[in-house]
Amino acid sequence: MENLYIVVVILLFLLAISDLIVGISNDAVNFLNSAIGSRVASFKVIMLFAMAGIIVGATFSGGMMEVARKGIFQPQNFYFSEIMLIFLAVMLTDIILLDLFNTFGMPTSTTVSIVFELLGAAVAMSVLKIYTDPNALPIGEYINSGKALAIISGILLSVIVAFSIGALLQYGFRLVFTFEYQNKLKYLGSLWGGIAFTAIIYFILIKGAKDASFMTEETQLWIKSNSIQILSISFISFTLLFWFLHMFFKINPLRIIVLIGTFSLAMAFASNDLVNFIGVPLAGFESFIAWSSSAASPDSFSMEVLSEKIPANGYILLISGLIMVITLWVSRKARSVTETEVDLGRQDEGYEKFGSTPFSRMVVQWVMGTHDSIFKVIPTRIREKITNRFKLKIPVGTPDDQAPSFDMLRASVNIVVASVIISIGTSLKLPLSTTYVTFMVAMGTSLSDRAWGRESAVYRVSGVLSVIGGWFFTAFFAFSAAFLLLIILYYGGLTAIVGMVILSCVFIYKTHILHREREIEKKALEEDDFLPGEITGEKIVKQSKKDIIYYLNQFTNIMDKLFAGLKSNDIKNLKKVYKKFNGHHNKIKLMKDNVSNVIRRLSENSGDTAHYYVQEMDYLREMAHSINFIVRPTFYHFTNSHKPLITEQIKELEALDIEISTLFRKIIHLVESDSFDKMEIIQNKQEIGLIMIDKFKRNQIKRIKSNLVGTRNSILYFNLLSELKSILFYSINLLKSHRDVVLSQKREIIHQE
């Protein structure tokens, strides 16, 4: 029996390592968002500051098993065997939950997840005890529901307070500094630097190092009783220091604030949240030590030992910190979560990860109406002055891939405001989540900075609401999954334990593959087709030629595979075609949406080229639409288990496929060779295709009258013929538009000469 629990303890520590990896991947956004978004330094420098904060925070940590000793459940009313099952269910659930959020790049709270997992598993065990033991206590004796209610209230409090304070303070700072703040840094920058560093010092003392092993009660009491003096001296000293550094060395105080703030947030995370990942395994180990030193049965040994504080070994804390540092450096999922928050707060427009929803549209319309109503009351002169203070004269989002998502002023406000709110919440013993505070502050400052313009607001609001919804899902999923998993482990025994561990490994492997595929798709989607800098007509011609050749080849390949799947009734193949085309369809949509940005970067003498390029993108987009209306209905026709097309229809479609593929190859040849004097060949091929489509429509009508095909068959077949006809028209227009792009560019070159 003892050997079994040794295996369970080892398993808990292995799960702890996995939990550290998935946990830091999600919580990295808390301290990386501002530095990465503002590009305050190179990525390596930012990571060095963050990693230093993690190492220092891990060694500063007092290592108390925060969650288990705070009364989620009453350990003295559980036996050793029950506690070990609770801990095992919690760790398995935590890994799956956090990895799921990481895969989709969504930030959540590791504290909320661990609390509700403990609550769910403990409730499940309590229910089982009540169900199987006639002498069991009431459920209120096993569970302390007050903690869960405190966490839920903390979520709401964090969302409202952090967003509101972040928005108000950023609005005030932007009014004072504006976007052109370089000349104001000499005095205002020094003053802001003094305030910011004082807040960060306070944050480190109150939040980051409050449980440090070297912090004696006397030291903590001295800091608490001399807080005002410490803060006053810090403010004066740092203000003078920043003035001196900027005056004589031209050092930007905002850069220092963001980098040191990144260090302090990382330190606070490691010193306070580390126990979310290793606390449960440490408690399990302590439980095993206490039980093994007794002669009691695992089913009768009470776990009163967990009511006491359980200090962590300093070496374990340091090793945990190192694991987190390595993960932070190599984890792509950590960067995905960070990118989600940075994208939602970026100053410029571009690809939006989240779509529009009815609720987000309603929120945006209401806010716009309220804003307009308030602004009407303000005198015109004051309105104009306010508008000028928020005017972004030099756009942050230039085509250069080195451009920041927002400036260092907003980044510094993000860090300082988040630090202060977390510090105050900690001192008042409010259950504020670091993730919730940092995210909502960043969203509030984005709103005030007018980063959510009319072109992007509905998508950004949808993204924020999705993240907030995910937080409540965290609590629900953590509780439900841990509850269910404990019941499975309780009745399944060793077989269930082995099975769930294997299932967790398979799940993590699958999400790793999914995340890698999503990253590849995202990279392809967001890849800029043009190099940074001014776009010339020559670049337009070169890129449009490349696009036409590439996508016509892709369209040919997709239709070949689609009709092959139709012939063989291969749903798996049709699904691959459907998934592959979605990537092309989204990319072409983004190219079309990005036309205005391309035109802005065009040289002044490329007006005609720009006009024809817009037409070219229109026709390429329409072709993609038509193929989408071929691929999607075909895929759904078979997934809905409708009857396949009959042999005559397959033969007709194959003949059309051959004709259109031949047409595409001829268009590609003309585009490659710039031989636009042979357009009649293409028009002849188009005419042949149109005649075939008319003939096949008549054939289908005869089949309907003869009752050879059903309604669903006719809907699909007529739709295919209609979209193939559109493709024939759009392909010719695409070629003509490209011809016009090339000829207009040649005319511009002659005109310049």
Q: Encode pLDDT of 236-274 as tens digits.
A: 999 999 999 988 888 899 999 999 989 888 887 777 677
> Are 421 and 436 contacting, i.e. CB atoms less than 8 angstroms apart?
no
pLDDT for position 139: 84
Q: What is the DSSP letter of 351?
A: -
- The interaxial angle of helices 253-273 and 434-448, nearest 10 deg, is 150
- The interaxial angle of helices 457-526 and 110-132, nearest 10 deg, is 100
pLDDT for position 63: 45
pLDDT for position 126: 92
Q: How far apart are CA 463 and CA 341, in angstroms?
A: 9
- Ranges under pLDDT 50 in the chain: 63-65, 395-400
pLDDT for position 64: 45
139-194 residue pLDDT tens: 888 887 776 677 667 767 778 888 999 999 999 999 998 888 888 887 788 999 99
Q: Can you name the residues that pair with 143 across neighbouring β-strands?
A: 73
Bin 41: left if φ > 0, else alpha if -120 < ψ < 50, else beta: beta
Q: How far apart are CA 667 and CA 549, in angstroms?
A: 9
pLDDT for position 349: 66
Count the helices and strands in the chain (H runs, E runs).
Answer: 25, 0
Q: How far apart are CA 701 and CA 683, in angstroms?
A: 27
pLDDT for position 46: 92
> Are 197 and 416 contacting, i.e. CB atoms less than 8 angstroms apart?
no
Half-sphere exposure of 561 (CA within 13 A, CB side): 20
Nearest-10 Cα torsion for 494, 500, 506, 509: -110
- The interaxial angle of helices 607-639 and 571-593, nearest 10 deg, is 160
549-579 burial, b if ≥16 CB within 10 A, otherwise e? bebbebbbebbebbbbbbbeeeeeebeebbe
Q: Can you name the residues that pair with 602 across neighbouring β-strands?
A: 535
Q: How far apart are CA 109 and CA 92, in angstroms?
A: 17
pTM beyond 0.85, yes or no? no
Sign of CA dihedral 411, 416, 418, 419: positive
Q: Where do we find the tokens 């490659």?
A: 672
| Domains along the sequence of the chain with CATH | 2-174+249-392+429-523 (no CATH), 535-752 (1.20.58.220)
- Cα 367 from chain centroid? 25
Who's near 670: CB < 8 A, 6+ residues apart? 676, 678, 679, 682, 735
375-405 burial, b if ≥16 CB within 10 A, otherwise e? eeeeeeeeeeeeeeeeebeeebbebeeeebb
pLDDT for position 219: 78
500-530 burial, b if ≥16 CB within 10 A, otherwise e? beeebeeebeebeeebeeeeeebeeeeeeeb
pLDDT for position 690: 93
